[in-house]
Amino acid sequence: MMSKRLLTLSALMVLALPTLGLAQDRPALVEDMGWADTILVNGKIVSMDDRSIVPDTPGNIYEAMAIKGQRIMALGSVDEMQTLAGPGTETVDLGNKTVIPGLIQTHYHLFMAAARKYGPQLGLVDPSVKLTVTAASTPEATAKAIRDTITNAIQTQGIDAGKWISVFVGEGPENDPGTNRTWFYVGKLNRRQLDAATPNHPVMVWGGIGGYFNSEAIDEFKEVFPDWEESTDLETGPGSANNGYFAVPEQGAMTFEYWWKDKPLSDLAEAMRLQGLDVLRAGVTTVATRLLYPRTVAAYALLNREDRLPHRLAYYIEPQRGNLFNREAINNFYRAYGAPWTDHRNGGEKMWLNGMCHEIWDSTQNNICMGDDIQAPPDIKARERCPNPNLKAWVALRAGLINGWRAVGVHGTSSHGVRLYIQMVEEAMEEANLSVEYIRDLRLTLEHNQVLGNLPDVMDGIKKYGIILNVNTGYLSEVPKLLTEYGEDLEAFAMPVKSWINDGIRVTFEASGTDFWKPIHTLVTRQTATSRVYPESHVLLPDEAIDRVTALKMATTWASEYMMAEDTIGTLEAGKYADFTVLDQDYFTIPMDEVLNLKAIMTGLSGEIVWNNTSGGDEFPDWLK
Residue-wise pLDDT for 439-448, tens only, equals 999 999 999 9
Q: Is residue 50 domain-shared with residue 157, that is, in the same domain?
A: no
Over range 153-166, report the average pLDDT. Answer: 97
Single out the residue in 293, 308, 337 at which a domain terminates.
337
Label residue 435 exposed, middle or buried (CB < 10 Å: 0-12, 13-18, 19+): exposed
Instruction: Give the pLDDT score at 7.
Output: 35
pLDDT (mean) for 545-561: 98
Q: What is the pLDDT of residue 208?
A: 81
> Residue 576: which CATH number?
2.30.40.10
Could you give the CA distance from residue 560 to residue 566 in angstroms, rounded to a whole number?
5
The predicted structure's pLDDT at residue 22: 36
Backbone dihedral angles phi then psi of residue 107, each to the nearest 5 degrees: -160, 90
pTM: 0.94
Torsion sign over Cα 246, 249, 252, 255? negative
- Whether residues 69 and 18 share a domain: the answer is yes
Count of the separate structural domains present in the chain: 4
Q: Is residue 462 part of a domain?
A: yes
- pLDDT score of 9: 39
pLDDT range class, residue 83, cuts 50, 70, 90 = very high
What is the mean predicted confidence (pLDDT) over 63-80?
A: 98
In the predicted model, what is the mean pLDDT of residues 15-44? Answer: 75
Distance CA 412, CA 418 (A): 5
Q: Is 199 exposed, middle or buried (0-12, 13-18, 19+ CB in 10 A)?
A: exposed
Is 106 domain-assigned? no
Query: Residue 616 has what pLDDT?
Result: 84
Which of 259, 280, 296 is the last residue before a domain boundary?
259
> In which band, very low, low, confident or very high, does the pLDDT at 25 lie, cut at 50, 70 and 90?
low
Query: Are 94 and 243 members of one domain?
Result: no
Residue 404 sits in the same domain as residue 308: no
Q: Is residue 307 part of a domain?
A: yes
Query: Are the beta carbons of 513 and 108 closer than 8 angstroms?
Result: yes
Mean of the pLDDT values across residues 112-121?
A: 95
Regarding whether 143 and 24 lie in a shared domain, the answer is no
Domain annotation covers residue 105: no
Q: Which residues pair with 41 in a beta bridge?
A: 93
Check whether 10 has a pLDDT greater than 90: no
pLDDT value at residue 532: 85
535 belongs to a structural domain: yes
Please check the confidence at residue 32 and state whether its pLDDT lies above 80.
yes
How large is the average pLDDT for residues 451-457? 98
pLDDT digits (tens, 9 = 90+) for 370-405: 999 999 999 999 989 999 999 999 999 999 999 999
Q: What pLDDT band is residue 189 in, cutting at 50, 70 and 90?
A: very high
Of 243, 259, 275, at which residue does a domain stop?
Answer: 259
Q: pLDDT, tens digit, for every residue of 276-302?
A: 999 999 999 999 999 999 999 999 999
Give the domain range for residue 14: 1-100+570-625
427 and 553 share one domain:
yes
Asked if the structure places residue 2 within a domain, the reply is yes
| Shared domain check, 537 and 389 | yes
CB neighbourhood size of 30 (10 A): 20
Task: Answer yes or no: is 610 within a domain.
Answer: yes
**CATH number of the domain bearing residue 414:** 3.20.20.140
Mean pLDDT of 60-71: 98
**Packing angle, helices 265-281 and 294-305, rounded to 10:** 70
Mean pLDDT of 214-241: 95
Residues 325 and 360 in one domain: no
pLDDT of 16 over the 90 cut: no
Same domain, 230 and 361: no
pLDDT score of 127 more than 50: yes
Q: Are residues 139 and 286 in the same domain?
A: no
Percent residues over pLDDT 70 in the chain: 96
Are residues 471 and 434 located together in one domain of the fold?
yes
Q: Which of 505, 403, 416, 514 is nearest to 114 (CA)?
A: 514
Is residue 108 in some structural domain?
Answer: no
Q: Which of 2-16, 393-407, 536-550, 579-593 has the lowest mean pLDDT?
A: 2-16
For residue 241, what are the CA distances in angstroms to 204, 222, 235, 316? 13, 12, 10, 27
| Same domain flag for 270 and 225 | no
Backbone angles phi, psi at 224, to 5 degrees: -100, -35
Pairwise CA distance, residues 106 & 562, whole Å: 7
